[in-house]
Chain A
Amino acid sequence: MLTVLLILIPFIAGLIAFGLKGSGPKALAVISSLATVATAIGAWCRLGSAPDSLSFTANWIPQLGSQFRVGLDGMGMMLCLLTAIAFLLVFISIYNRNYESSNSFYGLMLLSQAGLTGVFTAYDALQFYIFWELALIPVYFLCSLWGGDKRIAVTFKFFVYTFLGSLLMLVGIIYLYTQNPDHSFSWESFTNLHLGADQQNWLFWLFFVAFAIKMPVFPFHTWQPDTYEQSPTPVTMILSGIMVKMGVFGVIRWLVPVLPEGAHMWTDVAIVLSIIGIIYASCIAMVQSDLKRLIAYSSIAHIGLMSAAIFSHTEQGMQGVLLQMFNHGINIIGLWIIVEIIQQRFHIKNMDELGGIAQKAPRMAIFLVIISLANIGLPLTNGFVGEFLMFSGLFQYNHWFMAVAGLGIILAAVYTLNMIQKVMFGNANALTETATDLQPSEMLALSLVVAIILVLGVYPKPILDLVSNTTAVVLKF
């Protein structure tokens, strides 16, 4: 029942938020996300002792054998926790901002939270598909209504890209269903299908393209930098912190277990595409002067590493990916919070016009440095553990792949440190002279981020233990 609550709380709060006025939606969003975090932690506590109590099944379309079926395993739990925390961080960090027609803004945000949680808890393929699409609709409206100047065209491109990917996945799901003697969409029956290798080979691409567009993996990434740049920053936080994890999640939950031979067949292709993505995105990030685009490209590089590590099919690699999904979500939201603050204060996001903020706002500078270092995986931060595990998994699969992917770390250090230097240090100009330091709500959100970074950097065991059962299950296939 707790799992259903995780979806229902933001859903109902979202519907109510549409009807509220003034600062009501804002307060409701914070309350709802606090309640969701509490529910998620409650579910985490019960996961070890009574995991069955977290699954819920109800008949939905008996003619098709489709059920409304939610449940939590380690990975699902971790992602629900991340979703709950991420939305809380977003809502706290933008508490001082006033959006035009804020009731719709917060309503749509909460609805997208419900959709995302639905994706991570679904154990029925048809239901998974429906939540997968539903999570996209509120985001489409959020980006198109509150985004930058080119928002309409850019968001539309994003929508069509992902919609096309999802439709291909739908064809795959229907095909699997017609091959299924049980007439069921359940995860268990899909993983028991054992289709022939020739079928798996082409089915792989129907699913992989859908997930690769979402992650995004090279060459399906072209929607991403534009969308991150044009979206309102709170939505970018959700897009980059959580929505891209839908793709990674899809590969681990559905693609690898359902089509193990297809995944095995195309492993090298998938890893090579991922590694091209890492190098390509890192190189572009180095020459970016737009702050939002830089972080967007760095995100492509990080996701590329995760995708490569999944296909290495090793225990370390998989554990690393699962841990890094959580860490990357937290870190990148931290980065976006600071970008949002800078954009609000100076109304520019070109790094060349910034500089010297550290003198005026030392706290902001400290936070940016810590979060950036975590993002490039410095030891004692959370990023290090995940990246280390992923590289070690990739190393076991193929030394050369690991060596090339490893270049990504160096490049990441180059562009990230360059970014810190340009934004925070150097001489202040007329604009940055006026900088003011963090406000309490921003301070609170960033402190939470840094606390998670440091705790998980030193002691990642809780998350690793949480996800270890998923790793064990996936590696069996």
Chain B
Amino acid sequence: MNALISTALSGVVLMFVGLFARKQTIKFFAIAAIIIAFIANLAQYPSVELGGYTMYGMIEVTKFSIIFNAVAIGSTLLYFLLSGSEFEKVGDHVADYFALVFFILAGISLAATFSNLLMLFLAIEIMSIPQYILAGSDKKNLKSNEAALKYFLMGCFSTGVLLMGITLIYGSAGTFEIASLGLGAENVSPLALCGTILVAFALAFKVSAVPFHFWTPDVYDGSPTVFTSFMATVVKAGGFIAFVRLFHVGFAGGEISSHWMLLLSIITALTLVLGNFTAVFQQSVKRMLAYSSIAQAGFMMFAVIAMNLAAAQGIVLYAAAYSIATIGIFAVLLRLKDYTFEGFNGLAKKEPLLAFAVTVFLFSLAGIPVTAGFFAKYFVLAAAIQQGHLLWLVILAVLCAAISVYYYFRVIMAMYFKQGDPQVEPVSGGFKAGLILTVILVLALGLFPNLLLGCL
């Protein structure tokens, strides 16, 4: 609750700050605001009982949702620290960009707490609309405009599908409250089934699962890189928390879950295969990361289709591991002139710290032990194995993980084993400190995942 209020208020305040603060100082206001939001969110943690509390049947605050919000807000804090200064290079409306990020965060905190389908719709919309603007914020760049328009049209369409699904579900259940939908009774009405499938498709679009992913590479590639970094990480995690919440609470149990579980298993398999195979053929690291985000979404889908404790733990850990590592890589990428793999050639000689940090982040994305990504993969795979009947999918995921090593390690090979003179902008001491902090966080979560899991 605190997270929702503080992020929404911060967004409004920042828009006014833009009127009188200088361009360079806005970043510090934003960092201060996000730290306040982080603390305000966690301050609520001790007072929430184990079961959580509900407000007017609209939102439900639990320890779990607070920890997820802490992950989202904390990742955004790291994002501001590492890439905040890049906002100024996009355009003149720096305060607005920061404000939009805060609004997205408000949407995410709503997505983690909704207990009513109307709130779900609001959460998804609040998350999406600022993204359309951010995608097109580089107004003079044709590709940025194309990305915004594409995203907007496709996004609106999927929102319509979501709304249609919600309507059908309401028609069948007679209520918007996800806890009392009761769709899992013995026989599922065709109405409810259609509604569930439409909602699943709309959410699959938001998290860019195959075959609803076609917007992803173009939008991620066309948007200003600094915003791609946010859209591909924290926002995607926010989409997943809505997905997990709705399906685990609303559509669980009985007949209905067997229907959507098969559907989502196929979507997961397609996402894993297509994301990984396409990423292999990319020449630009930015585009590779776009496809890698699809591939990682395939792993996060496991948390949706496996309905158990490990899945819930897995989605939080995965959101943290994936967001932190990807934000770190993008932060370094932003400092490079050349976004192709060749642009990384010889980085280890020129900037050993940057190269080391990127290596740790890539290890985390590949799921190599002692980084956060290992336990993230561990938990989602464990959830799927516990669920039973999904072993074929797990084996497929493991094969895909081996493929993912190919494109992640291409960057490592370029940095360490190839000669070259990469064009790097000079980096400040503060940036290096932020990078070291991020590396420590990745390693700490990889060694002691209970730091995060213990709080759930």
Please list the residues of chain A having a beta carbon within 8 angstroms of any beta carbon in chain B: 60-63, 129-130, 133-134, 137, 141, 144-145, 151-152, 156, 159-160, 163-164, 167-168, 170-171, 174-175, 177-178
Q: A62-B450, A133-B368, A168-B398 are in contact. Are A145 and B381 (CB under 8 A)?
A: no
Find the B residue at minimum CB distance from A133: B369
Looking at the complex, which one of B363, B368, B405 makes contact with A160 (CB distance below 8 Å)?
A: B405
Whether a CB of chain A sits under 8 angstroms from the CB of B399 is: yes
Whether a CB of chain A sits under 8 angstroms from the CB of B339 is: no
Looking at the complex, which one of A151, A163, A168, A178 makes contact with B385 (CB distance below 8 Å)?
A: A178
Given A133-B369, A156-B413, A171-B391, 10 other A-B residues pairs in contact with their CB atoms under 8 A:
A62-B454, A63-B313, A63-B454, A141-B416, A144-B416, A144-B417, A156-B406, A163-B402, A168-B398, A174-B381
Looking at the complex, which one of B378, B386, B405 makes contact with A170 (CB distance below 8 Å)?
A: B378
Looking at the complex, which one of B363, B402, B450 makes contact with A61 (CB distance below 8 Å)?
A: B450
Looking at the complex, which one of A133, A152, A170 makes contact with B417 (CB distance below 8 Å)?
A: A152
Whether a CB of chain A sits under 8 angstroms from the CB of B453 is: yes
**Min CB–CB distance B395 → chain A (angstroms):** 7
Q: Which of under 10, 10 to 19, 20 to 34, or 35 or more describes the interface residues of B?
A: 20 to 34
Q: What does the 1/0 interface line of B227-244 toward A look like (CB < 8 Å)?
A: 000000000000000000
Q: Is the interface of B mostly helix, strand, loop or mixed?
A: helix
Does A178 lie within 8 Å of B409, measured CB to CB? no
Q: Is the interface of A mostly helix, strand, loop or mixed?
A: helix
Does B453 lie within 8 Å of A178, measured CB to CB? no
| 7 residue pairs, one from A and one from B, having the closest CB atoms | A164-B402, A130-B369, A167-B398, A133-B369, A174-B382, A178-B386, A63-B453
Query: Which residues from A are CB-within-8-Å of B398?
Result: 164, 167-168, 170-171
A-B contact count (CB 8 A): 68
Q: How far is the CA of A167 from the CA of B299 in the complex (A)?
A: 14
Does B369 lie within 8 Å of A134, measured CB to CB? yes
Q: How far is the CA of A60 from the CA of B382 in the complex (A)?
A: 18
Query: Which residues from A are CB-within-8-Å of B449?
Result: 61, 63
Q: How far is the CA of A223 from the CA of B417 in the complex (A)?
A: 20
Q: How far is the CA of A130 from the CA of B386 in the complex (A)?
A: 21
Does B394 lie within 8 Å of A63, measured CB to CB? no
Query: Which residues from B are CB-within-8-Å of A175?
Result: 385, 391
CB under 8 Å from chain A, chain B span 397-415: 398-399, 401-402, 405-406, 409, 413
CB under 8 Å from chain A, chain B span 362-380: 363, 368-370, 374, 378
Whether a CB of chain A sits under 8 angstroms from the CB of B157 is: no
Q: A159-B409, A160-B405 are in contact. Are A145 and B382 (CB under 8 A)?
A: no
CB under 8 Å from chain A, chain B span 404-447: 405-406, 409, 413, 416-417
Whether a CB of chain A sits under 8 angstroms from the CB of B28 is: no
Q: A145-B416, A156-B413, A171-B394 are in contact. Are A61 and B448 (CB under 8 A)?
A: yes
Give 19 A-B contacts (CB < 8 Å), ordered by A residue: A63-B313, A63-B450, A63-B454, A133-B369, A134-B369, A145-B417, A152-B413, A159-B409, A160-B405, A160-B406, A164-B398, A164-B399, A168-B395, A170-B378, A170-B381, A171-B391, A171-B394, A175-B391, A177-B382
Looking at the complex, which one of A129, A152, A159, A168 makes contact with B405 (CB distance below 8 Å)?
A: A159
Q: How far is the CA of A133 from the CA of B446 in the complex (A)?
A: 13
Query: Which residues from B are CB-within-8-Å of A168?
Result: 395, 398
CB under 8 Å from chain A, chain B span 28-87: none
Q: A134-B370, A145-B416 are in contact. Are A174 and B385 (CB under 8 A)?
A: yes
Q: A61-B449, A129-B369 are in contact. Are A171 and B413 (CB under 8 A)?
A: no
Does A171 lie within 8 Å of B381, measured CB to CB? yes
Query: Which residues from A are CB-within-8-Å of B405?
Result: 159-160, 163
CB under 8 Å from chain A, chain B span 300-323: 313
Find the A residue at minimum CB distance from B308: A178
Does B413 lie within 8 Å of A178, measured CB to CB? no
**Min CB–CB distance B295 → chain A (angstroms):** 15
Q: How far is the CA of A221 from the CA of B370 in the complex (A)?
A: 28
Query: Which residues from A are CB-within-8-Å of B413?
Result: 144, 152, 156
Q: How far is the CA of A163 from the CA of B413 in the complex (A)?
A: 17
Query: Which residues from B are CB-within-8-Å of A159?
Result: 405, 409
Q: How far is the CA of A61 from the CA of B394 in the complex (A)?
A: 23
Q: What does the 1/0 interface line of B386-397 toward A look like (CB < 8 Å)?
A: 100001001100
Query: Which residues from B are CB-within-8-Å of A141?
Result: 416
Does A160 lie within 8 Å of B381, measured CB to CB? no
Find the B residue at minimum CB distance from A152: B417
Find the A residue at minimum CB distance from B313: A63
Query: Which residues from B are CB-within-8-Å of A145?
Result: 416-417
Find the A residue at minimum CB distance from B446: A130
Find the B residue at minimum CB distance from A176: B385
Q: How far is the CA of A171 from the CA of B449 in the complex (A)?
A: 19
Query: Which residues from A are CB-within-8-Å of B395?
Result: 168, 171
Does A167 lie within 8 Å of B401, measured CB to CB? yes
Q: How far is the CA of A61 from the CA of B313 in the complex (A)?
A: 13
Q: How far is the CA of A134 from the CA of B446 in the complex (A)?
A: 12
Query: Which residues from A are CB-within-8-Å of B448?
Result: 60-61
Does A171 lie within 8 Å of B385, measured CB to CB? yes
Q: How far is the CA of A160 from the CA of B450 in the complex (A)?
A: 29
Q: How far is the CA of A130 from the CA of B374 in the complex (A)?
A: 9
Query: Which residues from B are CB-within-8-Å of A170?
Result: 378, 381, 398
Q: How far is the CA of A381 from the CA of B391 in the complex (A)?
A: 49
Find the A residue at minimum CB distance from B448: A61
Looking at the complex, which one of B363, B378, B450, B454 makes contact with A174 (CB distance below 8 Å)?
A: B378
Q: How far is the CA of A62 from the CA of B450 in the complex (A)?
A: 7
Q: How far is the CA of A145 from the CA of B419 in the complex (A)?
A: 12
Does A130 lie within 8 Å of B370, measured CB to CB? yes
**Min CB–CB distance B434 → chain A (angstroms):** 22
Q: How far is the CA of A156 from the CA of B398 in the complex (A)?
A: 18
CB under 8 Å from chain A, chain B span 330-379: 363, 368-370, 374, 378
**Min CB–CB distance B439 → chain A (angstroms):** 15
Find the A residue at minimum CB distance from B413: A152
Q: What does the 1/0 interface line of B156-187 toward A look like (CB < 8 Å)?
A: 00000000000000000000000000000000
Q: Which of B313, B374, B417, B449 has the most CB of A within 10 A?
A: B417
Does B369 lie within 8 Å of A178, measured CB to CB? no
Query: Which residues from B are CB-within-8-Å of A130?
Result: 369-370, 374
Q: How far is the CA of A145 from the CA of B418 in the complex (A)?
A: 9
Query: Which residues from A are CB-within-8-Å of B399?
Result: 164
Find the A residue at minimum CB distance from B363: A137
**Min CB–CB distance A190 → chain B (angstroms):** 15
Query: Which residues from B are CB-within-8-Å of A62?
Result: 450, 454
Query: Which residues from A are CB-within-8-Å of B313?
Result: 63
Q: How far is the CA of A113 from the CA of B394 in the complex (A)?
A: 32
Q: Which of A137, A145, A152, A174 has the most CB of B within 10 A?
A: A174
Query: Which residues from A are CB-within-8-Å of B381?
Result: 170-171, 174
Q: How far is the CA of A137 from the CA of B416 in the complex (A)?
A: 14
Q: How far is the CA of A422 from the CA of B449 in the complex (A)?
A: 57
Query: Which residues from B are CB-within-8-Å of A61?
Result: 448-450, 453
Q: How far is the CA of A164 from the CA of B448 in the complex (A)?
A: 24
Does B369 lie within 8 Å of A156, measured CB to CB? no
Q: How far is the CA of A63 from the CA of B405 in the complex (A)?
A: 29
Q: How far is the CA of A160 from the CA of B368 in the complex (A)?
A: 12
Q: How far is the CA of A159 from the CA of B410 in the complex (A)?
A: 13
Q: How far is the CA of A61 from the CA of B382 in the complex (A)?
A: 15
CB under 8 Å from chain A, chain B span 86-137: none
Find the A residue at minimum CB distance from B410: A156
Find the A residue at minimum CB distance from B366: A163
Query: Which residues from B are CB-within-8-Å of A133?
Result: 368-369
Query: Which residues from A are CB-within-8-Å of B363?
Result: 137
Query: Which residues from B are CB-within-8-Å of A129?
Result: 369
Find the A residue at minimum CB distance from B399: A164
Q: Which of A60, A61, A159 has the most CB of B within 10 A?
A: A61
**Min CB–CB distance A171 → chain B (angstroms):** 6
Query: Which residues from B are CB-within-8-Å of A63?
Result: 313, 449-450, 453-454
Find the B residue at minimum CB distance from A165: B402
Query: Which residues from B are CB-within-8-Å of A60?
Result: 448
Q: How far is the CA of A175 from the CA of B401 in the complex (A)?
A: 18
Query: Which residues from A are CB-within-8-Å of B374?
Result: 130
**Min CB–CB distance A185 → chain B (angstroms):** 11
